[in-house]
Chains A and B, each alone.
Chain A
């Protein structure tokens, strides 16, 4: 079974540009979560998508947005990039049923803003 896949692995952008990050969940998983992990910091919850809808978002400005497609893959968009957006962006997926087993992360996209 393929795991959660994210692309690209690395992304370098200049300040003010837009970045698009992609995530494909485990087959059969309908929920996708996005997290940001800045260097030396913990994982911060960004967004939750389920069944194509945004269900919850963390304490991030509106320039962080995304969507979920009918096949449950997801895209995270970061507009007007700032230097402090440099971080590892992690996507995770979970099956629709309540689980005691946490969820599975992809290997992340490392975004560098210069």
Chain B
């Protein structure tokens, strides 16, 4: 079983749609959680950290359920520029090593 699992997609949505991505992680000792965004053939960039109480950054909302070991990302009012691969990322041990999911691809169409 992979340490971090995501639906690979692609999710193909029209502009203005709301889309949700889910992610599960296997290690209950995981400490920190993030969503990264990766554009084609580019480096991943931090989108947002995920806090236990849930957090919002503009059109993006992240939720964490430690009991279910489940992380989500909600994107409202999708823009064409949101088209990318979204990576669910977990930091588990004292090495601060990040474990990446394989990513969910989002395509926003006009």
Contact = CB atoms under 8 A, between A and B. Distances in A.
Contacts of B45: 105
B1 interface: no
Interface in A89-114: 90, 92, 94, 98-108, 110
Contacts of B42: 107-108
Contact of A94 (B43, B89, B96): B96
Given A42-B103, A45-B98, A48-B95, A105 B41 contact: no
B49 interface: yes
Interface residues on A, range: 20 to 34
Contacts of B97: 33, 45, 48, 56
Interface in B77-106: 87, 89, 91, 95-103
B46 A98 contact: no
B46 A101 contact: yes
Contacts, number: 54
A63 interface: no
A45 B90 CA distance: 12
Contact of A45 (B34, B44, B99, B103): B99
A88 interface: yes
A71 to B, nearest CB: 21
Nearest to A106: B43
Interface in A12-52: 31, 33, 35, 41-43, 45, 48
B96 to A, nearest CB: 6
B69 interface: no
Given A42-B101, A48-B95, A56-B95, A100 B32 contact: yes
23 contacts: A33-B98, A35-B100, A41-B102, A42-B87, A42-B100, A42-B101, A48-B96, A56-B95, A56-B97, A90-B43, A90-B44, A98-B96, A99-B96, A100-B49, A101-B49, A102-B34, A102-B49, A102-B91, A103-B46, A103-B96, A105-B44, A107-B42, A107-B43
